[in-house]
Structures are given as C-alpha cells and as structure tokens.
Amino acid sequence: MTQFWLWLGCISMTLGAIFFGFGADRARSERWQIVYMLNFFINAIAAALYLAMIFKLGFTYIEDRPSYLTRYATWTFSTPLTIVLLSYLGRTRIPIVASMIGADIYMIVTGFVATISPKPISIIWYFVSCGAYLGLAYLLLKQYRQQAEQAYPRSKKVFYRLLTIHLILWTAYPIVWIIAGTGLNWIDSPTETACYTLLDVAAKVGFGFLALNSLNQLEQAEEVSPMSQKRIATH
C-alpha cells in the first residue's frame, strides 16, 4: 500500500505541475504568470521527490521504523515557495516574508532532527519544531493578515479563507507525526504515508487552485491596481 500512495502523490503533483505550467505559458498578465509559476515549481519539486521515494532514495530504518527522509527535502524546498505565493498575493513586506521563511525552514530542519533522533530525545526536538510552527502561525495571523487587509481592504474574506485552509493543512502535519511511529505509534507506516500524501496533494495541488481562485476574486473586486502588479521586492 505504501507504493500505491507514493505513486498517487507523484502522479497527482505531476498533473498539477503540468496544469500550472501550461497556465503560466498562457497567463493573461504578469501577476497571473507569477502565481502559476510558483505553483508549478511547488508541484514539480514535490513530484520529483515523490518519484525519488518510490525508488526508495532516502529510505532508511530508524529504530526499526521505516522512514522516508526524502520527504523533508520535499518540504524544505516546496514550503518556502508556498510562503512566497501567499506573500505575493498579500503584498507582504520583505522583512515579514524573510521571517516567515526563516521560521518555516527552522521548523522543517528541527522536525528532521526529531525524526532521526532516538526517543525520547526525538520528542524534545518535536516540540522545538512545533514552537517554530507556532511562531510562523503568529506571523501569518498577525503581520501577514494585517498587511494583506491593508493592501486589499475590501477582500478580507479572501485572505481569511486562504489562511484558514493553509493553517488547517499545515497543522495536520505535526499531528500525523506524533500519532505515527515517530511519536506514539498509533498508526502503521502505510497509514502514515497515506496521511502525508493526501496532505501534500491538498497543500500543493489543492492550495494552488485556491490561490488562483483568490487572485480571481481580488481582480473581480477591482482590488488589483497597477501598483500591485509589481513584485513584493518593490515594497
């Protein structure tokens, strides 16, 4: 069953990458092209690394528990791009973008250390990683949301929906970690793989479509001005 879920993830994100890639080529404006391209690379990276997991690259046993360390490479490269995508939509200022990416990478790295560490040391690193995630969530709910709502005062519901879905999906990852063999061992390895795969597809392919829908709503509300066509680097 593990191979089935890995193939499902690889195929789903390959199809997602193809869709977003064609979308970027046919985008009606530079802003749409950027959103499509970010989604393309998020899915293309995940698809390639899922293929690597299918061929058991990065696969090992830690305390007699099967582990796909390649999964952390997927998250290290794809999740910062998701933050850039959110930041581009919300016109977030560079210092906040950098802080969110830093917290994200710190969360992934310490989560990786938790995975390769023996128990109970792994649990300590798990909570360190969760602390970084709480910091990231604070930045999203406070700084990011404030700046997005200031930039788009008539589209608060768009960003409320983006943040709600984003945080629900990302909060599910540490829950899977703690109930899997890495933590309490309540679920077996194939079930763990199934959970992570479904979350990855939702957080990459599904969230990509949500980002496109959000941009469309912003434009329909006539909130996208000529100034907002510029990259966040100009702020």
Question: How much is the pLDDT for 1?
Answer: 87
Tokens 């992570």: give the residue: 196
Question: How much is the pLDDT for 220?
Answer: 87
Give me the half-sphere count of Cα atoms (radius 13 Å) on the Cβ side of residue 96: 22
Task: Report the pLDDT averaged over residues 215-234.
Answer: 64
Q: Over pLDDT 70: what percentage of the chain?
A: 94
Residue 222 — very low, low, confident or very high, per pLDDT cuts 50/70/90? low
Between CA 99 and CA 82 the distance in angstroms is 14
Does the structure show a pLDDT above 70 at 4?
Answer: yes
Least confident segment among 86-95, 203-212, 224-233: 224-233
Name the DSSP class of 68. E
Task: Report the pLDDT averaged over residues 18-30.
Answer: 96
How would you write 189-220 as a 3-class SS string? HHHHHHHHHHHHHHHHHHHHHHHHHHHHHHHH
Short-list 79, 84, 85, CA closest to 97: 84
Question: How much is the pLDDT for 177?
Answer: 98
End-to-end CA distance of the chain: 48
Peptide bond into 226 cis (omega under 30): no
> Tell me: the pLDDT tens digits for 31-77?
999 999 999 999 999 999 999 999 999 999 998 889 999 999 999 99
Between CA 160 and CA 82 the distance in angstroms is 16
Name the DSSP class of 118. P
Does the structure show a pLDDT above 90 at 163?
Answer: yes
Q: Which domains does the chain have, with CATH numbers?
A: 2-234 (1.20.1070.10)
Task: Report the pLDDT averaged over residues 119-131.
Answer: 97
Q: What is the mean pLDDT of the chain?
A: 94
Whole-prediction pTM value? Answer: 0.92
Question: How much is the pLDDT for 233?
Answer: 45
Between CA 139 and CA 102 the distance in angstroms is 11
